[in-house]
Amino acid sequence: MSETEISTLGEFGLIDQLTRDFKVKNKTTVRGVGDDCAVLDYGAMKTLVTTDLLLEGIHFDLTYTPLKHLGYKAVAVNLSDVYAMNGTPRQITVSLGISKRFTVEHINELYSGIYAACEKYGVDLVGGDTSASVTGLLISITCIGEAREEDIVYRSGAHDTDLICVSGDLGAAYMGLQLLERERVAGAGQKDFQPDFAGREYLLERQLKPEPRADVIAELRELGVKPTAMMDVSDGLSSELLHICKESGVGCRVYEDRIPIDYQTAVMAEELNMNLVTAAMNGGEDYELLFTVPLTQHEKVEQMKTARLIGRITKPELGAYMVARDDTELEIRAQGWNAFDNA
Amino acid sequence: MSETEISTLGEFGLIDQLTRDFKVKNKTTVRGVGDDCAVLDYGAMKTLVTTDLLLEGIHFDLTYTPLKHLGYKAVAVNLSDVYAMNGTPRQITVSLGISKRFTVEHINELYSGIYAACEKYGVDLVGGDTSASVTGLLISITCIGEAREEDIVYRSGAHDTDLICVSGDLGAAYMGLQLLERERVAGAGQKDFQPDFAGREYLLERQLKPEPRADVIAELRELGVKPTAMMDVSDGLSSELLHICKESGVGCRVYEDRIPIDYQTAVMAEELNMNLVTAAMNGGEDYELLFTVPLTQHEKVEQMKTARLIGRITKPELGAYMVARDDTELEIRAQGWNAFDNA
């Protein structure tokens, strides 16, 4: 047996290789692997299913992540995938692996965050599996949602001349992580160390307690706009733009001066001597919605409170580029987070 | 914050405590936590959802578990839960956490087992999440299935005078585990050690490659028998009988001389100087189906090739007892496997 390191394939390469032999066998399977959710046909409404795995030491660090926030975030990132299909999340299952260093109170804390997210978004906890683990905490959540068939938005529906929009702002969650890491290092070994987060609360909130953008979906419905393609920004805008371009068979231009960035993100990038646009394009964990709409919807999306226009879809031969402030074009490359590189 | 060890609550106690505040909010949630599957109402058919988490060092030991078998088993145990609702599994999601010591070839081996199980049972892989882990391998699978509302069988439907049946035979998977452990210890540190499994193949198969009992469900349908209560035997017959008694508000009598036990199981128990009936009642991982049927179905279940009658449901005040060969009654206690005790 030859030996190929998993990191040589990366997550997507590995999944591609592992799943390519699986052929759809059931009429109820409308869409399987390859989008934010699987789409299943159970009667008049389609069932949406998505799952996320969060592992201690890989996805979170409990030295600065409160367990309640972790529980909330673990649910939020799953709901985000259902909204990214233009669906409504309805149920989750929660599986936990728990090592000996965790007490009942710890797990209650974790669940209080899960509970808060379920309450806020009207989602039912309908199952799970709980076990001891040899080391560390792990959380595996599956979310099931619903959508009318005609409402579902895939990654593959973008067309030449469509407009590209993104909700909220980008890069703040990444800067929040940098801030937490800096204070962790600064405080290491000091007993009464007080981390300095003054004026940076927004960055922490974006990293520790992301919200799925149900409000964006609601605003799109109010305006009567159905996106042609949509996905949530979990690995970074660059990576997600390339997914939409690949799945839709198109190119894109996004404009540097249109990328939404919060003031705190900009200040933090300067303080850390990091490139702000790189952070916004590749930071990840924003859980914003990236979507495309037909050019005819231009006036409607210009009015949106929750999202803004950042670029346009082009013919595939034009490639995927960011247009800088000086009008030079920089090729978009996926520099998003890769769990196998970081382990 | 007080400190309660998780082991003082146990898995079920912990889950009870964690989930009791979650109220059902959606009409689509017919049944949430508390049975083999959650039942969701999406149109004419009900959607069944179940999930299982398998962790290295807790649920499996790779020194004697081939990765292909592990993949197969990880799917099988989920499908078993859907059959235990009298449903048909249709889709799975697979999430993996993978430490650095695993190569692509290893994960391919694992997936070849997942693939084999999906092919055999006509199930589609529709999603998942794959990540690095700090240590060891973990597999989290969610299975979605369907059933007509009138076909669904819960744990809570058993009535006084119902007959209790179980498929296949019990205790073999547990004996297979004892055998594998014995050979592992015997071979520790020896370079060319050959484990001795001659004449014990059935025990190994039961431990390493359990089959969900789709055939039992098919036979029940052929006979026109709908169980009043059903669940799969994963933690041991004693534990599952007590679940059905508790959920249905009934008691039971099972007869020692009716407990189905394979010849190899009996030989192995004697060799290891273990109590055979204890192994059969509490061994776990059999993935057989335990079900109850109305007394009027007596003749039909007597004909069954895949299952046999082992006892009867009683009024709750009569308790849950096993009637031994000498007619003494032994109270049934849950001594099934508890992940938090073993960690």
For residue A55 the two structure tokens come to 């592992």
Residue at B264 is within a domain: yes
pTM comes to: 0.89
> CA torsion sign, A294 to A296 to A302 to A303?
negative
- How many Å lie between the alpha carbon of A37 and the closest alpha carbon of chain B? 7
H helix runs in B209-297, sequence order:
214-223, 237-248, 263-271, 276-282
Closest-CA residue to A202 (of A278, A274, A286, A275): A286
Contacts of residue B29 in chain A, CB cutoff 8 Å? Answer: 90-91, 124, 126
Gap between the Cα atoms of B234 and B206, Å rounded: 12
Gap between the Cα atoms of B57 and B136, Å rounded: 8
**pLDDT < 70 positions in chain B:** 1-2, 6-7, 9-42, 336-343
CA-nearest residue of chain A to B94? Answer: A51
A38:B343 CB<8 A: no
Contacts of residue B31 in chain A, CB cutoff 8 Å? Answer: 126
Task: Please state, rounded to an integer, the average pLDDT across all residues of chain A.
Answer: 87
Q: How confident is the model at residue A342 (pLDDT cuts 50, 70, 90)?
A: very low
A125:B98 CB<8 A: no
Residue at B157 is within a domain: no
Instruction: For residue B167, give every residue at least 6 positions away whose Cβ sits within 8 Å of its Cβ, in sequence order, or none.
Output: B213, B216, B288, B289, B290, B306, B307
Contacts of residue A80 in chain B, CB cutoff 8 Å? Answer: none
Residue at A277 is within a domain: yes
To test the contact with chain B by mutation, choose from A51, A67, A135, A235 the residue with the greatest count of B C-beta atoms within 10 A, namely: A51
| Domain match, A193 and A332 both | yes
Q: Which residue has the tokens 């679940």?
A: B243
| Domain match, A175 and A135 both | no
| Domain match, B240 and B309 both | yes
Closest Cβ opposite residue A32 in set B8, B126, B140 = B126
Contacts of residue B32 in chain A, CB cutoff 8 Å? Answer: 91, 124-127
ipTM metric: 0.87
Gap between the Cα atoms of B323 and A72, Å rounded: 49
B28:A343 CB<8 A: no
pLDDT in tens, A199-230: 899 999 999 999 999 999 999 999 999 999 99
Contacts of residue A43 in chain B, CB cutoff 8 Å? Answer: 42-45
Output the domain CATH number for residue A221.
3.90.650.10
Residue at B158 is within a domain: no
CA-nearest residue of chain B to A39? Answer: B126
| Domain match, B118 and B246 both | no
Closest Cβ opposite residue B134 in set A28, A91, A135 = A135
Residue A338: predicted pLDDT: 55
| Domain match, B100 and B192 both | no
Closest Cβ opposite residue A53 in set B57, B95, B122 = B95
| Domain match, A37 and A175 both | no
Residue at B156 is within a domain: no
Rg, chain A, Cα only: 20
Residue B79: predicted pLDDT: 94
Q: Are A107 and A98 in contact (CB under 8 A)?
A: yes
Q: How far is CA A114 from the centre of its chain?
A: 18
To test the contact with chain B by mutation, choose from A3, A60, A99, A126 the residue with the greatest count of B C-beta atoms within 10 A, namely: A126
Output the domain CATH number for residue A114.
3.30.1330.10
Final residue in a domain of this structure, among A151, A184, A217:
A151
Q: What is the mean pLDDT of residues A74-100?
A: 91
- How many Å lie between the alpha carbon of A112 and the closest alpha carbon of chain B? 9
- Which range marks the domain in which residue A237 is found? 163-342
| Domain match, B81 and B187 both | no
> Which comes out higher in pLDDT, residue A338 or A291?
A291
Residue at A26 is within a domain: yes
Number of domains in chain A: 2
Final residue in a domain of this structure, among A151, A183, A213:
A151
> CA torsion sign, A256 to A262 to A266 to A268?
negative
Closest Cβ opposite residue B125 in set A4, A5, A22 = A22
Residue at A138 is within a domain: yes
| Domain match, A265 and A326 both | yes
Size of interface A-B (CB pairs under 8 A): 277
| Domain match, B120 and B189 both | no
Contacts of residue A146 in chain B, CB cutoff 8 Å? Answer: 28, 42
Closest Cβ opposite residue B43 in set A43, A58, A127 = A43
Count CB-CB contacts under 10 A for residue B343. Answer: 18
> CA torsion sign, B234 to B240 to B246 to B250?
positive
Contacts of residue A49 in chain B, CB cutoff 8 Å? Answer: 91, 93, 126-127, 142, 144
| Domain match, B228 and B313 both | yes
Q: How confident is the model at residue A188 (pLDDT cuts 50, 70, 90)?
A: confident
pLDDT in tens, A15-32: 566 566 656 666 665 554
Final residue in a domain of this structure, among A106, A130, A151:
A151
Contacts of residue B42 in chain A, CB cutoff 8 Å? Answer: 42-43, 45, 47, 146
| Domain match, B133 and B170 both | no
Closest-CA residue to B91 (of A175, A142, A205): A142
| Domain match, B147 and B167 both | no
Contacts of residue A339 in chain B, CB cutoff 8 Å? Answer: 130-132
Q: How confident is the model at residue A343 (pLDDT cuts 50, 70, 90)?
A: very low
Residue at A120 is within a domain: yes
